[in-house]
Amino acid sequence: MPLTGFLTNSEMRYLGGPLISPHLNSWDFPLRLVEHMSVIRWTQVMRGLKDQEERPLASEEEALGYLSCVSLEAPLDRDWADIMLHLGERVLPRWFLTDGQSVLEAIGLTHPIELNRQQAEELRRFRRWLREKIEGGARKTPRQTGRKNHTTLEVEDEPAEPVADPVE
């Protein structure tokens, strides 16, 4: 069965879209996540087939990568720091990126981060915005990063839907 009969146009654009990173001092998307991006995106598409709430969202890995770049530019406010740490708790063990430590040890936490309702909604809106940027990336001019089979689109414009600024 050809993929075009199985996947929607949106899913095809998502699978082939660029990585989105903020336009800040040329911080690169974390390489340890880039290495897994094809599988990450396929997994997210499959999640969307099982859970309609996941269908319009970018992966948690992509959200973590974007926020990692932002956090290198300036400190995140408390809510966005909690969101990033929560994503780290979920993503790092999924891809065995804790180097044998417990995830809390690897991140430097003493207890798990529980997102409140407002933070969870901000994360969903951010992941939706990120997915829209990825899917729309084919219509923009990408910057080649020099990594094999990897294109990054730097975002300079504001999100279409208001998303709280992660930097104070």
Q: Where are the alpha helices (DSSP H) in 51-167?
A: 60-73, 78-94, 103-107, 117-136
Q: Could you count the other beta carbons within 10 Å of the beta carbon of residue 79?
A: 16
* pLDDT in the model for residue 139: 53
Burial of residue 152 (CB within 10 Å: 0-12, 13-18, 19+) is buried
The span from the CA of 166 to the CA of 74, in Å, is: 9
Question: Do strands 19-22 and 143-144 pair parallel, antiparallel, or not at all (unpaired)?
Answer: unpaired
Q: Please tell me the pTM assigned to this model.
A: 0.78
Mean pLDDT by 10 residues, the chain (168 residues): 69 91 72 89 95 96 92 92 95 86 88 96 98 81 46 46 48
Task: Give the whole-angstrom CA distance, residue 83 versus residue 122.
Answer: 9
pLDDT of residue 35: 87
Among residues 24, 41, 45, the alpha carbon closest in space to that of 33 is found at: 41
User: Domain spans of the chain?
Assistant: 3-155
Report whether 24 contacts 72 (CB < 8 A): yes
Question: What per-residue confidence (pLDDT) applies to 1?
Answer: 41
CB count within 10 Å of CB 146 equals 7
